[in-house]
Amino acid sequence: MLNLPPQVVEFLQQPNPAVIAVLRPDGFPMTVATWYIWDEGRILVNMLDSRSRLAWMRKNPKVGLTVFSDNWYTHVSLYGSVVAIEDDPDLSGIDRLASHYTGHRYRNRKVRRVNAWIEPAGWHGWDPSGRLSSPGVEAS
């Protein structure tokens, strides 16, 4: 499991804005905004089962995630692999994410959604205050 400083883990546990990068079959990385949950070292994301990026991560499990604080300059980035993809027939996965971000369950009950679990392999932090920065990262 990736070894992260406790203040970075604490940051990742908050309902922060995030963007996920997935690899298109033509090799371009595609990035989109996403909800995520940090679950004891693994990352949960959830998508409509019709999303292109779900098909792309089935073909190539390598993904990246950047998580922002209120000040978007402060961020923690992770990269790793999708290690499990599972249907979310009772919407408990998206409800967990919706509750974390909005305080209530997901409103649209008539959709087919899928959970993906990401195992991070490395990280990079950047923070003007230095608190969340990786060792050796310059401020400018």
Residues that bind its own copies (CB under 8 A): 17, 19-24, 27-33, 48, 50, 60, 62-66, 68, 72-73, 75, 77, 79-80, 108, 111, 121-122, 124, 126, 138, 140
Closest CA to 111 of 91, 84, 85: 91
* Cβ-based nearer residue to its own copies, 7 or 102: 102
Distances (CA, A) of 8 to 2, 43, 112, 116: 12, 14, 33, 22
Distances (CA, A) of 62 to 21, 32, 126: 9, 15, 22
CB of 5 to its own copies, least distance (A): 18
* Cβ-based nearer residue to its own copies, 40 or 70: 70
Q: Which two tokens stand for residue 140?
A: 């400018």
CB of 40 to its own copies, least distance (A): 22
* Cβ-based nearer residue to its own copies, 21 or 85: 21
